[in-house]
Amino acid sequence: MTARVRTFSNAGLTFDVIDEGPIDGPIAVLLHGFPQRSTSWNEVARHLHGQGIRTIAPDQRGYSPGARPRRRAAYRLSNLAADVVALIELVREPGHPEWDRVHLVGHDWGSVVAWTVAARDDLVATLTAVSVGHPAAFMKSMAGSQVLKSWYMGLFQLPMLPERVLSDPGSAHHMLGSAGMTREMLRTYHREIVEYGALRGGLQWYRALPYAHPRVMGNRISVPTTMVWSDGDTALGRRGAELSERHVDAPFELQVLEGVSHWIPDEAPEVLAEIVCERIGTARNGTSAARGH
């Protein structure tokens, strides 16, 4: 599909999209995490455009004003994945050498959705997962130190309190700043999440976790995959990233960024774009990256 996409619909919801870069280039779908929107990919996308890649970044369920259902069950992982599948079906062109499948990139919660959608190798050519490993690998890592890093996931299950804490500038700056967000990123957070009315929808992703079906969490991946993890991540340990290889039946590479916080797309956009381009290049050239670290 060569026309620009500004919105798309699924299950009666309407999603906003940033579609930029060479219109005739291979398509990279970029999925944001919490608490950010599609704009978190701006710098990464700019570097990808310079390499001839078209980027399509949606504001996902709970973030787009036209896609904010109230019930937490609406945010189960299968629904989040179905939204992205609907977008891919809209932009792909079956049979075309460049556009029949997309290159999927996700950060944080966007990575969880990307792992889920990447099980569809008829829609996805490559996967670059950033920060969060395969859902089954993440769950296994919870048996170790990850459970302590994920304390906030329990907090977010509570009604109303997380909204109050994360809407308050002082509390939000302490919580998100301690995870590596800069002052500029925090200003963006307040403008694009809190003031935009997207905070509750973002929190619903966590509250819907009890609805996640084990089959969805355990999907195997058969497309070439790169896992990107940073050693300055206070929320996610290395174990989940390492275990992800066990769930990939295709070339797999683990890239570790040193001295970088959780917010990889913001903090290391050029490096991340290079990694994405390398993964896309292996598919376009018909080659396979060696497994390794």
pLDDT by position in tens, the chain (length 293): 578 999 999 999 999 999 999 999 999 999 999 999 999 999 999 999 999 999 999 999 999 999 999 999 999 999 999 999 999 999 999 888 888 999 999 999 999 999 999 999 999 999 999 999 999 999 889 888 898 899 889 899 999 999 999 999 999 999 999 999 999 999 999 999 999 999 999 999 999 998 887 777 789 999 999 999 999 999 999 999 999 999 999 999 999 999 999 999 999 999 999 999 999 997 766 643 333 33
Number of structural domains the chain divides into:
1
| pLDDT in the model for residue 290 | 34
**Residue 2 belongs to some domain of the structure:** no
Q: What range defines the domain where residue 250 resides?
A: 7-284
**Residue 220 belongs to some domain of the structure:** yes
How close are the terminal C-alpha atoms of the chain, in Å? 36
User: Given CA atoms 133, 5, 280, 35 in this order, what sign does their dihedral have?
Assistant: negative
**Residue 290 belongs to some domain of the structure:** no
| pLDDT in the model for residue 286 | 61
Strand partners, 129: 106, 227
**Residue 34 belongs to some domain of the structure:** yes
DSSP assignment string, 153-222: HHHTTSSSHHHHHHHSHHHHHHHHHTTT--HHHHHHHIIIIITTT-HHHHHHHHHTGGG--HHHHT--B-
Give the number of other CB atoms < 10 A from CB of residue 292. Answer: 10
**Residue 151 belongs to some domain of the structure:** yes
At 209, which amino acid appears? Answer: L
| pLDDT in the model for residue 1 | 55
Contact yes or no for 245/136 (Cβ under 8 A): no
- Which of 154, 152, 100 has its CA nearest to residue 122? 100
**Residue 291 belongs to some domain of the structure:** no
CA count, 13 A, side-chain hemisphere, 267: 21
Residue 258 belongs to domain with CATH number = 3.40.50.1820
Q: State pTM to two decimals.
A: 0.95
| pLDDT in the model for residue 288 | 39
**Residue 233 belongs to some domain of the structure:** yes
**Residue 187 belongs to some domain of the structure:** yes
